[in-house]
A and B are shown apart, each in its own frame.
Chain A
Amino acid sequence: MNKVITINLGGNAYQLEEGGYDTLRAYLETATAQLQRNPDRDEILSDIERAIAEKFRALLASHKTVVETKEVAAVLAEMGPIEADPGEAAAPGASGAGASSNPGGQKTAGEEKAAGSGGTPRRLYRIQEGAMIAGVCNGIAAHMNIDPTIVRLAFVLLTIFWGTGLLVYVVMAIVVPEARSPEEKAAASGFPATAQEFIRRAKEGYYEAMKGFPDRKARREWKRRFKQEMRAHADQWRYNWHSYWTEHAPVHPGMGFALPFLSLLQGAATVVWICAIISLLATGAVFGLALPANVPTWVAALLLLIAYGILVGPLKFARRACYYGLGRPRWAWSFVFLMDAVVWLAVVATLLWLAFHFLPELRDAVHTLPSLAHQAVDDIRTWWHGK
């Protein structure tokens, strides 16, 4: 009976016998050392991992889920040692001394931590990896060593309640420099340049690596990077899918005309939904359709939300299909999405404005909303205690 270790190669999980895992790790570590001076190091390593993953995949079947130690060795023998490219200037210390002396790159977690607290000066940068917009929140999160989601949420709340978040964001996006070089990236999170090793570990297995970190801070940082890495994989997959779609989707000029029409439809659906919610809260009935007596208002609101999702889902999908069918280059998508969002917002705003001016019932309903909200809260509370 052998212990099995799960690893992540190229975004897929593989189970290896422990001996095989050690062999693979040694191989990848030697490769990292060999490529120490290579500017494409990370890319070559991920190419190699993908190639290994493909070979593992060929070995596995439904009744065979674990890669054995001798199979790992065979695959790695087939891969061959990572050789410094003859056209590349020789990496000193890597080719001569071989794997025995590890020039950087392969420090243990303890050493790494020591180097980290030794103080790489921490500076504020924008971080593009795993960023939503310009990487401002990501950079702040790394700087403060917290989850980027918290920072993003704070910005959104600032925007909604005081309207300042957006302004601050735009200013920071312009003023704060982007972390480009490995040194800057290291300074952004206060971890030494060997922080790239965190990503390497992420690929070798989440839980295994988790044990390797001595303190909470390093573990949290590692978790953050793991998530980022996973997100990058998802993005890559999505990107592949999109480029596949742009190549194979039927292109029809009518799609361009269908787009605004679809946006309009979706906007109308949103307005109907908003009116339905308001009418539900104000009168306890949806457009005159009374609820059964034992259904609380909030359940009805939830049902409306789900119905809205079901209605709008296909519309959204059709709109996206239109974009990709138009065969736009990648950079244009974000612009198109922005434009579409603007159109959508404009439609919703206009329709709402019209509704408020021509439907006095709606206006009255909105005025009674605050008290209704209190009532809804009370409803939920009594329901909760009654349970």
Chain B
Amino acid sequence: MSVNEKFSAIRKGLLELLVLQIIAAEKVYVADILKQLSATEFATQEGTLYPLLSRMRREGLLDYEWKESEAGPPRKYYELTAKGREQLRETLEYWGQINGTVKKLGQK
């Protein structure tokens, strides 16, 4: 089992955090998010992202607004709500703790 396969569950779980972080920086639409993720280990596809985004919206973490695009159908631009920012802060904090634990354990 390669490292890549082993960590697929962890990547899946972390995707929400990364999406929160990307949206926190600026208003983006799905293609922007995919592009930013594509260069990383978290490269993903629309088929995964749309269900995730719609659940996050249902949970009140983010919101979107419609914008006309110069060509083609209108696009949804996503932004974080206050609740989303709070969640991002909490998750980052927790992630920092986990990182600390990983580094600390087993060292004398």
Task: Tell whether, in the assembled complex, residue A78 and residue B55 are in contact, meaning their CB atoms are under 8 Å apart.
Answer: no
Cβ-based interface call for A51 (8 A): yes
Question: Looking at the complex, which of A236-244, A263-271, A292-300 is the stretch in contact with chain B?
Answer: A236-244
Cβ-based interface call for B106 (8 A): no
* A residues less than 8 Å from B41 (CB atoms): none
Q: How many residues of A contact B (CB 8 A)?
A: 37
Task: Tell whether, in the assembled complex, residue A51 and residue B30 are in contact, meaning their CB atoms are under 8 Å apart.
Answer: yes
Contact with B along A24-43 (1 / 0, CB 8 A): 00000001000100111001
* B residues less than 8 Å from A48 (CB atoms): 46-47, 50
Interface centre among B12, B15, B44, B66 (most CB of A within 10 A): B66
Task: Tell whether, in the assembled complex, residue A80 and residue B47 are in contact, meaning their CB atoms are under 8 Å apart.
Answer: yes
Question: Looking at the complex, which of B20-28, B70-78, B93-101 is the stretch in contact with chain A?
Answer: B70-78
**Whole-angstrom distance from the CB of B19 to the nearest CB of chain A?**
11
**Whole-angstrom distance from the CB of B28 to the nearest CB of chain A?**
14
Cβ-based interface call for B52 (8 A): yes
Q: How many residues of B contact A (CB 8 A)?
A: 30
Task: Tell whether, in the assembled complex, residue B67 and residue A43 are in contact, meaning their CB atoms are under 8 Å apart.
Answer: no
**Whole-angstrom distance from the CB of A175 to the nearest CB of chain B?**
32
Q: List 22 A-B contacts (CB under 8 A).
A: A10-B73, A12-B72, A31-B47, A35-B51, A38-B51, A40-B57, A44-B50, A44-B51, A48-B46, A57-B71, A79-B45, A79-B47, A80-B46, A83-B47, A85-B51, A86-B13, A87-B55, A88-B51, A240-B68, A240-B74, A241-B68, A243-B65
Question: Besides the contacts A82-B51, A83-B51, A87-B16, what 19 more A-B pairs have beta carbons closer than 8 Å?
Answer: A38-B54, A39-B58, A44-B54, A50-B74, A51-B30, A51-B50, A78-B46, A79-B46, A80-B46, A81-B47, A82-B50, A85-B51, A85-B52, A85-B55, A86-B15, A87-B52, A236-B66, A240-B66, A241-B68
